[in-house]
Structure 1
Amino acid sequence: MSQLKPGTIVDLTVKKDAKTAYILENDVRLPKERGSDALNSGDKVTVFLYEDKKGQLTASSTLPDVSLNSYGWVEVADVVDRLGVFIHIGLPKDVLVSKDDLPLHTSVWPKRGDHLFVRLDHDRRGKLTAKPVTEEIIDQERDRAPKELMNQPAGGHVYKAAKIGSFIITEEGYRGFIHHSERKEEPRLGQWVKGRVIAVKEDGTLNISLRPLILESRDEDAEFLLTRIKENGGKIPLTDKSSPEDIRDYLNLSKAAFKRAMGKLLKEKKVTQNDGYTYLVKEQED
């Protein structure tokens, strides 16, 4: 038999029945699992190979959904800043997704309970690891979204976090893109998000917004803007004549959203503008 490697599924013969484990050929241990069928010497068993906490090659009769050749959704079990995140694939030992395969900023790393779409792999030392899905694989495997999804709710997990925006796979298997202007804050990799479809592209992909409809958004943005002015000592260096870039850098709002929110506050006489600044009206300071 060729050299056995962690992450592979193989058929091995039972050599001996020990107290806590079956000893398979090549002296691979198969720990006994509660409720599993008893095995006898000479039986053939299909197992998944992994290294236990001592680094010993070990077998499991539980076959994970994710493998070296197939992707699957798995839950994040733990986060270790200096290493990456550990995912649970149904084995006694969790598998590492290296920090080298995660976003540069840890603020958008997955948290425990998030889900990543990964396949298994080996690092340079031959240790079992996991790799997040690539855009190429997503493009090969995704379904084409129908035009009827326009303006419909859409939810899914983020599989890629980028400066330009967030990419998700919806629960129906469609690829969705959330431009940075269509979210209040950047979602984490692996986070479940829910929004609405604002475009169905010709290639069958979706554009999705996490922002509420305009009237709801205007009210939320007005409250956000009022809070920022209060936090900044009662003024901010922006008016409705400020550039879109300055507004985006300071508040992460589009100019259109900013003007709607500012118009509401001006109409309600909660703020005034002068010399390039917006000021809180005095009675609003309490």
Structure 2
Amino acid sequence: MENKLRAGEVFTLKVERLSDFGYFLSLGTEEVMLHKREASKELKEGETVEVFLYQDHEGRLAATMTQPKVRLDTLAWLKVVGSTKRLGVFLDIGIHKDVLLSNDDLPGPLEQWPGIGDQLYCGLRLDKKGRLFADLASEQEIVEQAEAANESHFNQMVTGHVYKLNDSGALIFTENSLIGFIHQDEMSHQLRLGERVECRVTFIRDDGRVNLSMKPRKEQAYSEDAEKIYTYLKANKGQMPYTDKSSPDEIKNEFDISKAAFKRALGKLIKENKIKQENGKTYLKI
């Protein structure tokens, strides 16, 4: 007869008999072990107890009275607590045993894998052998949790976690339940799946989703770039061999900004009468 007990679900089972190291629980003719360290109280023979089933480190079906954050039929945000290239990442589901999210379900490049402390929206699944794995939520399951943005969200700062990466950018589920998209050009660095990000709402779409940016507003960016150049000049005896005629590569290598941003920052400093350009160099005005 096919087993009725399986990992990933909660069952109410009868305490069939006691042993030195735990309790044998039964459902009909099936039995499962509840180790003493997984019991939240002492149990007596014949009483019933609600337990969650999982596989122990030897692959055997086991029980715990600790209620997990997620089951086969639910979803939750789960924290990454471990990672191994050969297998995938391990997620804390609220019991002593962590659950594996297989590398088959993760992005190809390792640098896009979740890091320790990142969070993923997941459920649980069983493979053909009945083994318990984490299962990333589908796009539809994310959509079902989302709310539509309105004009009041425009220009607001929001935080959220990356739930999907593609060639164009990253999809974010925010802490106020919005779905947002960050284009590659609007990232301050390459994002990981599950990474927590803070970003600004730059556009409200007709479908209730939002476009996001991790970059500062232009006015703020101009000021930060200008301050970077001004600090560089002060540290280099008030002069530098870079002007608005310098190559994009030179500017990128020295200041880590684009030539367009460099020219805007120079323009701001010139307008403020803080610098001047002569003979292929830029000088502080003293």
Task: Report the TM-score, using the length of structure 1 for normalisation.
Answer: 0.79
Q: 1:189 & 1:64 partners in 2: Cα distance?
A: 23
- Indicate how the Cα distance of structure 1 residues 19 and 136 shifts in structure 2: closer, same or farther if over 3 A, else same: same
1:13 aligns with 2:14: yes
Aligned-partner residue type, residue 261 of structure 1: F
Distance in 2, Cα, partners of 1:44 & 1:238: 72
Moved more, 26-35 or 74-83: 26-35
Quote the Cα distance in structure 2 between the aligned partners of 1:30 and 1:272. Answer: 82
Which whole-Å CA distance do the structure 2 matches of 1:166 and 1:36 have between them?
Answer: 42
1:140 is aligned to 2:141: no
Task: Compare CA radii of gyration and give the structure with the larger one.
Answer: 2
* Structure 2 spans left out of the alignment, 5+ residues: 233-241
The match for 2:248 among 228, 235, 238 is 238
The answer (yes or no) to whether the contact 2:39–2:64 under 8 Å persists in 1 is: no
Q: Which aligned pairs between 1:211-250 and structure 2 lie closer than 5 A?
A: 211-220=215-224, 223=228, 238=248
Kindly state the Cα deviation for residue 272 of structure 1 after the two structures are TM-superposed.
Answer: 9.3
Residue 27 of structure 1 aligns to a residue in which SS?
strand
Deviation at 1:14, TM superposition (A): 0.7
Instruction: Give the structure 2 partner of residue 243 of structure 1.
Output: none
Q: Spell out, residue by residue over 1:114-152, the C-alpha distance to the aligned partner (whole angstroms, 9 max, x if none).
A: 111111012343311111112122123312223211111
Determine the C-alpha separation between the residues in 1 that align with 2:279 and 2:215: 27
1:75-97 CA distances to partner (integer Å, 9 max, x unpaired)?
10101012110111122221111
Aligned-pair identity (%): 35
Maintained 8 Å contact 1:265/1:271: no
Q: 1:57: Cα distance to partner?
A: 0.7
* 252 and 64 in structure 1: CA distance in 2 versus 1, 3 angstrom threshold: farther
Aligned length: 258
Q: More displaced, 18-27 or 50-59?
A: 18-27
Name the residue aligned to 1:180. Answer: 184
Decide which moves more: 260-269 or 148-157: 260-269
Q: Which moved more, 1:133-142 or 1:185-194?
A: 133-142
Aligned equivalent of 1:56:
60
Aligned to 2:196: 192
Preserved CA contact (<8 Å) 1:166 1:179: yes
1:24 counterpart residue number: 25
Q: 1:272, 1:175 → 2: CA distance? A: 51
Q: TM-score normalised to the size of structure 2? A: 0.79
Q: Which residue of 1 aligns with 2:164?
A: 160
In the aligned structure 2, how far is the partner of 1:95 from the partner of 1:53?
A: 11
Instruction: Compute the RMSD of aligned alpha carbons.
Output: 3.1
